[in-house]
Structure 1
């Protein structure tokens, strides 16, 4: 075993929410059981068109184990401008096919959108450049309109998470992602207000809304932004190497290990090119799952208008290798997570 991994791959299947649902506990138990041994294949659905899953299946004969979804168009400031939410029913369908569900949230701020085309239109409102919304100001005054609107938005997403809970679906929940990069408004004012918002969101969704189906995946990507072990189940890293660069990303895996002394599962929660599974093994970067982003990272339309594998980022040969490798787990290999053994209570 690589020196940096010694003792770090044994993770207790215990969630930070003591009232976690049985299916959430089952999912965590399964993830802990394979961590360091297998990596779940994953793919993000496209927000508008979603051909990626079928393109991958036609090419490899396999579907990914993890489906990635986004509450982007459930943001109230997008809905009021005509955006149509799509991903909650897609996620329910994916779970019923036997897949694992992960959600992020490209959260359009509730107000103060610049709304200037082409680069800062309302549809790009989650970017720092497209809004003047001040997270620090909002989080410093819980009586302010800005704070109240943030809570309204969280409550709107809670409705959808509740629909998933009603279906028995555990969710790998990854809000406020890539915060330390500063390109999203929730990371634009430094770590303190973002950490405060994370903790507030955790407490509101867990204690007010009773959402016990969430496995909390933190994706701040810098130690200073870590909200604490009691608010994080899993750590995620989003990594986009150059085109056709199939590195293991072991440096980022090691970085994630250093966020906390506690043993936490670490996932490649977004990626561009696929990592070479042989390099993952050789370098000691046993990501729990990957989730390739959509669009050009996977597919394109050919001259006849049909969706086919695009090789700009990951060549066909590497796609086949990744989905056929002994390290990786595809949809057909997943256990039935509605009956998977619950972790021992001892």
Structure 2
């Protein structure tokens, strides 16, 4: 009976929380549901200042990851004020055109009240609780306040970028307000209640005002008490940074994520350090829908000549090769044509 119950949790209906979801989002969700429990999509986050990760993986394995991870970090208005220029929207468009799936997070620099004390709490680290005095609880408690208005301003700025992807027919695995329960980001600094309010506000504004019907909402709060409700979550993500060269399946966290709700939701490894061993995942039943390795030394380093090469600090070459050539994993060349994938009935 236990196995039957377990298998049912892996049988997710391709129904999105947005009743007006675009066909592109419906097709991607249908593919993810068809694949879930059978195979894991490979994924990789690109860097902020330089983006060699995809080429390093391809040079080493002959494969590209199925999912490309992008970030609206440098599009945050309080960073743009300091001269940053966001580039990930265009990079994501190119990734989709090349046959990959797009996921976005947002290291949201606080809208105001940056401490800007170098070196650890400079303006560029304004998404961290230690680098801002912005109070999410105050903002969410007073919709007439300047702080609340600035939250709306920032949401609207990012919505305009997501609209470019929508207009190009790109579905987005959208993962905002990530790792909230850890409290190291300002959106989680005041507890679950204001963060859940902000999640719901963002969902309503992006869906109803901006008509971003290309989004699949990936919640990544990492604690049951922070769950905003089944009607506000399409997919659950867990971020796990195991010790160096630890290739465990992380089955305890997989089961933890399943317990956030009694509803059947896809569970993804939305960030990771070392890659999980596919054989361990299969043996343990930790059947993550996808993984997304973080950037930098988690996958690459510069050699003595200044060229980006594989870094074996977290994942050794043999394991990288194993993951990218394993029967359980999906790489970009194995993805179907998601623009014509059958719509769910």
Q: Residues 248 and 280 of structure 1 are in contact (CA less than 8 Å); yes or no, is this contact kept in structure 2?
A: yes
* 2:241 paired residue number: 240
* 1:179 paired residue number: 180
Q: Work out whether 1:35 is the aligned partner of 2:28.
A: no
* 1:92 paired residue number: 93
Q: Residues 269 and 290 of structure 1 are in contact (CA less than 8 Å); yes or no, is this contact kept in structure 2?
A: yes
1:5 Cα deviation from its structure 2 partner: 2.2
The alignment partner of 1:268 has SS state of: strand
Cα distance in 1 for partners of 2:290, 2:18 equals 22
* 2:62 paired residue number: 61
- Give the alignment's Cα RMSD to 1 decimal: 0.8
Cα distance in 1 for partners of 2:48, 2:308 equals 16
> Residues 106-255 of structure 1: matches in 2 within 5 Å?
106-255=107-256
CA 60–249 in structure 1, closer or farther in 2 if over 3 Å, else same: same
Q: Work out whether 1:279 is the aligned partner of 2:280.
A: yes
The alignment partner of 1:6 has SS state of: helix
* 2:263 paired residue number: 262
* Deviation digits for residues 20-57 of structure 1 (CA, Å, limit 9, x no counterpart): 00000000000000100000000001011000000000
* 1:103 paired residue number: 104
1:6 Cα deviation from its structure 2 partner: 3.3
Structure 1 alignment gaps of length 5 or more: none
Runs of 4 or more above 4 Å deviation: 1-4
> Residues 284-295 of structure 1: matches in 2 within 5 Å?
284-295=285-296
Cα distance in 2 for partners of 1:217, 1:321 equals 27
* 2:76 paired residue number: 75
* Deviation digits for residues 270-290 of structure 1 (CA, Å, limit 9, x no counterpart): 000000000000000000000
**TM-score, with length taken from structure 2:** 0.99
Q: Residues 237 and 267 of structure 1 are in contact (CA less than 8 Å); yes or no, is this contact kept in structure 2?
A: yes
**TM-score, with length taken from structure 1:** 0.99
Aligned length: 344
* 2:23 paired residue number: 22
